[in-house]
Structure 1
Amino acid sequence: MTGRRIELATMNHHYMFYDLDVFFENASKLGYPCVELWTSPQHFFMDYQQNDPTERVLALMDKFGVRVHGICPEQCNPKPHNMAAKDESIQNRTLAYFTRAIDVAKTLGASQVLVTSGWAYYDEPVEQARERSASMLKKVAHYAESQGINLAIEALRAPESRIANTVKDLELLLEMVDETALKVCLDIGAMVSAGDTIQGYFDAFGANLIHSHYVDTGERSLHLALGDGNRNIAEDIMTFERNGYTGVLSVECTDSETLTNPMAADARSMSAYLEAYRSIEGIGAAGSR
C-alpha cells in the first residue's frame, strides 16, 4: 500500500436518459475526481467527420471540478466503426473516427482513448480479421503516440467478437501491433466471461495495464454497480494495489435496472469503494502493530 488510493471514475452509459450536465453534477456531489466519457450521441456526438463542440464539456469540467480521464468511443457491432473492417471505405472511416477521438481526448486534457479489436465475420477465418485489426490498430496507435495519447484496448466477450476475448488473445494482438502507445484495459466483465483473473492480467501485461472497466458481477449482469453483485471489492482493489497499478477504476455500469436512477447506482459504487478501502486500511493498520 502506497498511501495513495486508486481513483474511482464513473461513466455515463447509465445516464442515457439524463442530460450530460446531470452526470457531471452527480459525479461531483459524490466525490468522483474524474469520469470516462462515453460518446453517446445524446451526450457528446462524434463520428468520422464531426463532433460536438468540446467547449461544453470543458465548461462542465470547470464548473463541477471533475476531469475527463479518458474517451470511450462507440465501436461495437452494429456501430459503423470496426477495427477489423473488410471494406476499404469502412476502414477509411474507422481511421478517421479514432484519430478524431484522439484529438478530442487531447483537447479535453484526457490521457487515453478506449479501443477494442473490432469483430470478425462468422463466415471467415478469425486469423484474417485479426490481421486487419492489427493493421488498423497500428495506424491508430502510431497517431496516438504522436499526440501524446495512449490507447487502452479491452477484450470483448463472445459473441461480440472472436478476435480478442482472453488474456492470451490480447497478448497476441499487442505483439502483432507492436506500438508503444497501445496499452491494455482490464474489463472485469470480459475477464469473468473468459475465466481470466486480475492477477493474470498483471502477470501478462504489467505496467502496460493502464486502465480498468471495474464493475461488480452477478447473475443479472457482468457490468453492475459496485456492491450490486458478488465480487469482493476490497480483495480486488488489493490485487491492483499489490501490482502497483497507476490507472483509475472506471465503473462501466451498463445494468438496465439503473437507467431510471443512475445517481443511486453511482452512490452505491462510491460507498462500496470507500468501504473496501476502510477494510484494506484497517488490515494494514492491524498488520503494523
Structure 2
Amino acid sequence: MAVPELSLMNINHRYYSIETFFKAAGEAGYRNIELWTGSMHLYVDCHEHDSVDKIRDLAAQYGIKIVCVCPEQNNPKPWNVAVRGEAGQKRILSYFKNVIDVAVELGAPQILVTSGWAYLDEPAEDAWARSVAMLHSVCDYADTRGIRVALEALQPSESVLVNTAQDVARILEAVDRPNLKACIDFGAMEVAGDTIDGYFEVLGDKIVHTHFVDVGGGTTHLAWGDGERDMRADLEALMRHGYTGYASAETCDGRYYQDPSKATTQVIDMYRRVIAEMEAE
C-alpha cells in the first residue's frame, strides 16, 4: 500500500515572499503544496482576488502540484462560515466563491473549510444552523466548478461548533452534500483526544485530506521531530485504513517564522527516513 504523499503549506513562510516559499519547497524536494491564501501571498476577499499567474508560473517552474487551497477563515479573520446577518452571509458566500474560483484556476481539486465560530453569548445551535446553511451554499457552488470541499475540526479555543471526529461526522450529515468530505487536522485531533483510527471508525472513506503535523508541549502545529508524535506510526495508521489523500505539513509556529526553510527541510528529511525504514523491512 502506498505511503501518503507529502505536501507543504506556505503558512510558515508568512514573512517571506511566495517566490522564496516555492524555492524552498522545490529545493527541499516537495512536489505538492497546499496554498494558504494569506494576503501576503495571494489576496482574496469577497470582491476580488489577485491574479494567480505568478503562483501558476512558480508551480510550473519548480515542478510542484497545488493539491488544495486553504483560505483564511477563523477568528479574528472576517470570513466566518457561521456569520450572522444577511449582509455578512452574502459577503462570506462571495468570498468562498472566489476561493473556489482560485482553486479552479490553479488546477487544485479541493478547498479546505471549517465550521466557522459562534459567539460565546449565543446558543451554539444557532451558529450551527448558520454554518450548515452556508456550507450548503458553498458546496453547491463548488459542485458546479468540480471542486471538493474538505472540512476540518477546530480546537475549542477557536470554535465551539466542530471539535471532534463525531462533530465532523455530524456536520457532514447535516450538510448532506456529496462533495463535502473530511480533513483530519492532527492538532485538533490530539487536543480532542481523538485518534487516527477513531477518525476512520467514524468517517471512513469520507476522509480525503490531512493536516499532518507534530504535536507536543501544548503546541499543535510543530515541524515533525519537534513534538511527541510518531510519524511512522501515523503514516502506517493512515495506510492501514487505505487513505489515498495527502499528508499536508501545516507547520505553523512563531519559532519557525525567522527561518521557515529549516523546518521545511526537517519535515521532508524525516519523511524520507521513515519511508526508507519501512521499505527496508
* TM-score range for the pair, normalised by the shorter chain length: over 0.9
Corresponding residue for 1:36?
A: 34
CA distance in 1, matches of 2:255, 2:218: 10
Corresponding residue for 2:205?
A: 207
- Residues 72 and 114, structure 1, Cα contact 8 Å, conserved in 2: yes
CA distance in 2, matches of 1:201, 1:14: 26
Corresponding residue for 2:57?
A: 59
Corresponding residue for 2:214?
A: 216
- Residues 152 and 184, structure 2, Cα contact 8 Å, conserved in 1: yes
Q: Which runs of 5+ in 2 are unaligned?
A: none
Corresponding residue for 1:174?
A: 172
CA distance in 2, matches of 1:46, 1:215: 26
CA distance in 1, matches of 2:118, 2:32: 34
- Residues 238 and 280, structure 1, Cα contact 8 Å, conserved in 2: no
Closer, same or farther: CA 193–220 of 1 in aligned 2, 3 Å: closer
Corresponding residue for 2:243?
A: 245
Within-5 A mapping of 1:260-271: 260-271=258-269
- Please give the secondary structure, in 2, of the residue aligned with 1:222: strand
CA distance in 2, matches of 1:135, 1:279: 47
Corresponding residue for 1:132?
A: 130
Corresponding residue for 2:78?
A: 80
One of 255, 278, 281 as aligned partner of 1:280: 278
Over the aligned positions, Cα root-mean-square deviation in angstroms equals 0.9
CA distance in 2, matches of 1:207, 1:279: 27
- Residues 3 and 235, structure 2, Cα contact 8 Å, conserved in 1: no
- Residues 183 and 208, structure 1, Cα contact 8 Å, conserved in 2: yes
CA distance in 2, matches of 1:212, 1:223: 12
Cα distance, 1:152 vs structure 2: 0.6
CA distance in 2, matches of 1:259, 1:236: 26
Cα distance, 1:220 vs structure 2: 5.0
1:111 matched to 2:109: yes
CA distance in 2, matches of 1:220, 1:251: 18
Cα shift readout 1:149-177 (whole Å, capped 9, x = no counterpart)? 11110000012101100111111111110
CA distance in 2, matches of 1:174, 1:220: 29
Using the size of structure 1 for normalisation, the TM-score is: 0.95
Q: How many residues align?
A: 281
Instruction: Name the amino acid aligned to 1:228.
Output: D
- Please give the secondary structure, in 2, of the residue aligned with 1:101: helix
Cα distance, 1:279 vs structure 2: 2.3
CA distance in 1, matches of 2:203, 2:262: 34
Cα distance, 1:81 vs structure 2: 1.1
CA distance in 1, matches of 2:228, 2:157: 24
CA distance in 1, matches of 2:182, 2:168: 8
1:148 matched to 2:132: no
